[in-house]
Amino acid sequence: MASKKRTNGLWRYWGLIAFVVAMTGWLTADFGPLAITALSALSLLWFLFQAPVPCAALNRGEAQTCRNNGRGVLRGCHIKQHQWQKLKGLVVRRRWREVSADLFPNATTSLASLGAIVALLSSIIGVVKSLTGKS
């Protein structure tokens, strides 16, 4: 029986590395706006779908949240219902208080959510700068 290959080391945090490089590019102006935009967009995808965070989806019939390890701010753990609960919660019309409670429930998920917001803003600014021709 073949064992599953586990991803270890720095490769697990490739999106965080891309985020740090993009933010360094903004501070030092060593990269052009297109490179910063690409790195920011990649790190945004990592924060949303691959960052190691707790699942925190609501368990059926309980007031407690799931404590399994999840992947990304918008994904849940290995349980099928949890995989779509967060993403569906953002798409379905809800109050801002509920959305912010889902995005910032604990320190780990809060940092991932904040990183995703900064990466999104960085991507938008990079696109605008590259379209206007300002470097």
pLDDT, tens only, 82-106: 877 777 766 776 677 777 777 788 8
Q: What is the residue whose two structure tokens read 């501070």?
A: 27
**Mean pLDDT within 14-38:** 90
Q: What is the pLDDT of residue 1?
A: 45
Q: What is the pTM of this model?
A: 0.78
**Taking 60 as the threshold, does the pLDDT of residue 7 lie above it?**
no
3-state DSSP of the chain: CCCCCCCCHHHHHHHHHHHHHHHHHHHHCCCCHHHHHHHHHHHHHHHHHCCEEECCCECCCCCCECCCEEECCCCCCCCHHHHHHHHHHHHCCCCHHHHHHHHCCCHHHHHHHHHHHHHHHHHHHHHHHHHHCCC
Phi and psi, residue 130, nearest 5°: -75, -30
- Separation CA 92–CA 88 (nearest Å): 6
